[in-house]
Structure 1
Amino acid sequence: MNPPAVPPHLSVVVPMFDEEAVIGLFVERLRPVLDDLGETYEVLVVDDGSRDTTPALLEKSRRDWEQLRIVRLRANAGHQAALSAGLMRARGQWVATIDADLQDPPETIAAMLAAAQERSADVVYGVRNDRTTDSMFKRHTANVYYRLIRRLVGHHVPADAGDFRLMSRATVDAVNRLPAQNRVLRLVIPALGFPSTQVEYRREERAAGTTKYPLARMIRLSVDSLTGFSIAPLRLATWFGLGGAAVTALLFAVAFGAFVTDHTLPGWTSTFLVVAGVGAVQLLCLGIMGEYVGRLYTQLQGRPTYHVAYDSSEDVLQG
């Protein structure tokens, strides 16, 4: 029986889904940065059910890079679930999370470690101070997202900070103890309240391949962010109800006055508009409440958000 392995100083968690075009470039950029740190480390790549040659290319890279560790999920579970799987299995005293597309520069990890030690911080957020490489649509929607989230959830959520961050072991353990269903880590981690700081960087263009966050996934992330961390939509539904009641009372007063003064006129248009307006508000409120009920239902089921099929480190420990 082999003795338990000594935890590395740093774990780098990298979710990947169909990233065959960028793996070589990513390894070329990340490995020199980590080797120059002078600390023990592991790179934990979570293969999120890739359908291309990503698994084969990762295995090829692992033969030449002993610190590379591969965790493969049985099916695509989504970006946040893949990150959660990596955090659950990371062993480092510090854990960094970064995407493989090289839009977040790996060289910033060294600055994050230095900032954490100099400022006694448990979390170091990578904050984008230059997004000129993103499209205008992407910049605009991101700005709206962060402004809305900070207004509804709180200003403890750093603006323009995605999933590129460094966390202490205490922070990672706290995250792993939380329920895993539909959580958005860029909101979960600030909500824990651990001492934090920021390191700014310029967001680069995607090195190769195509984005794995199309519009549909961006909308899903926004919905999860709103319904998972704020009751503002429910309060909005309440205000719609109160507003509808006020309008109904006003219309009743107008109708009663018209009846008393004998000025009633048959009108299909006004009746149709009122019924359609009230029905639309009711459906909107039901939809908002349905989002919350659905989250409670999913939480009560307790189904795991991902299933691990393979962990290369287990082969090493058993060998």
Structure 2
Amino acid sequence: MSAPGSAITLSIVIPMFNEEAVLPLLVERLRPLADGLRTAYEVVAVDDGSSDATPVLLQRLRRDWPELRVVRLRANSGHQAAISAGLQRARGDFVVTIDADLQDPPEVIAEMLRVAREQGVDVVYGVREDRSTDTAFKRHSAGLFYRAIRRLADIDAPVDAGDYRLMSRATVDAINSLPEHNRVLRFVVPALGFPSASVGYTREVRAAGTSKYPLAKMLRLSVDSVTGFSLTPLRFATWLGLLGGLAALGVLAYAVIARILGHALPGWTSTVVIVAAVGAVQLLALGILGEYVGRMYGAMQARPTYFVAHDSLEGAHPAQPVHPAHPGHGSAENPARRP
């Protein structure tokens, strides 16, 4: 256990949104494990604007669990933003990020810490070797998603590795210094290229509650991942334009030859088909460009991706915007100096 004022060796960051059903089960498994590590630790529970009893339960748990630290965001900001908020405030030499649903077993943390120390790596990924508890659609779509990102962005991201990972202080500091917004951490971390290892585990069923990642959010995450790490879609739009131009030249040549030979030109059907095809290509290219322009517009605005309302380590203070010279913070936080 960690004594007040002692150096923190391990920080466990847990984003939470409406987790009242699973929270007692999480504490029942996580606290004995963390205490058994015999190292100074903190558990940073990031309440992502929950509307159920999650904030109340966290405050009750803090009374008997001094290592539990509660960071509450003013509004629901999203899973990745909540993790970023936890990374900004975590103090440990090593930082683990894990979801609250217990699908990723917390018992793997001890193995991650051992591998990081013995092999001297900066990142230890938790890899889901057995995903039989997930639906067939989710398994296949996730595998396709990771392989597509690896090919498009040329990032050596482990397949079936989500946001369950251990990172060194150097890795966390590097992430916190990045200026980008809407970051997808499961690809930001491998993109840094720091020495890494992996630990396999069996993915479990959700212990309680409902999933906070419906299909719409998964699709949004996919778009953010592709547009945030690859220029391939822009090149794809360019190639579509070139192919459309070649097709137009072919139609022009056909029309000229038909005119010379005295044959009648095709009727309105072929014209409609060609116009529709060219219009579809143009709209697709505009849509791809729009995604990138939207990301640039968001980056120029430099709006915080989350606002911290309360940190139990510091007490409650009104959130104040950070200075524009530090866009990498991605948040508006309390002006009090973090320990």
Q: TM-score, normalised by structure 2?
A: 0.91
How far the C-alpha of 1:315 sits from its partner, in A, is 3.0
Counterpart residue type for residue 154 of structure 1: D
Percent sequence identity is 64
Counterpart residue type for residue 121 of structure 1: V
How far the C-alpha of 1:288 sits from its partner, in A, is 0.1
Q: How many residues align?
A: 315
Counterpart residue type for residue 138 of structure 1: K
Query: Secondary structure, in 3 states, of the residue corresponding to 1:236?
Result: helix
2:292 aligned with 1:282: no
How far the C-alpha of 1:118 sits from its partner, in A, is 1.0
Q: Which residue number corresponds to residue 307 of structure 1?
A: 307
CA distance in 2, matches of 1:299, 1:6: 38
Q: Which residue number corresponds to residue 54 of structure 1?
A: 54
Counterpart residue type for residue 106 of structure 1: P
The answer for unaligned runs of 5 or more in structure 2 is: 317-335
Query: Secondary structure, in 3 states, of the residue corresponding to 1:307?
Result: strand
How far the C-alpha of 1:155 sits from its partner, in A, is 4.8
What are the residue-to-residue correspondences of 1:97-108 with 2, within 5 Å?
97-108=97-108
Q: Which residue number corresponds to residue 203 of structure 2?
A: 203
Q: Which residue number corresponds to residue 213 of structure 1?
A: 213
Query: Secondary structure, in 3 states, of the residue corresponding to 1:69?
Result: strand
Q: Is the 8 A contact 1:180 1:304 kept in 2?
A: no
The answer for unaligned runs of 5 or more in structure 1 is: none
Q: Is the 8 A contact 1:84 1:180 kept in 2?
A: no
CA distance in 1, matches of 2:222, 2:295: 14
Counterpart residue type for residue 288 of structure 2: I
Q: Which runs of 4+ in 1 moved over 2 A?
A: 4-7, 315-318
Q: Which residue number corresponds to residue 96 of structure 2?
A: 96
How far the C-alpha of 1:193 sits from its partner, in A, is 1.0
Counterpart residue type for residue 74 of structure 1: R
What are the residue-to-residue correspondences of 1:229-248 with 2, within 5 Å?
229-248=229-248
Q: TM-score, normalised by structure 1?
A: 0.97
Coordinate RMSD, CA, aligned:
1.4
Counterpart residue type for residue 252 of structure 1: L
Q: Which has the higher contact order (CA 8 A, sep 6+)?
A: 1
What are the residue-to-residue correspondences of 1:42-121 with 2, within 5 Å?
42-121=42-121
Deviation string, structure 1 residues 79-130 (Cα, Å, up to 9, x no partner): 0000000000000010000000000000000000000011110100000100
Q: Which residue number corresponds to residue 126 of structure 1?
A: 126
How far the C-alpha of 1:154 sits from its partner, in A, is 2.1
How far the C-alpha of 1:265 sits from its partner, in A, is 3.5
CA distance in 1, matches of 2:72, 2:146: 32
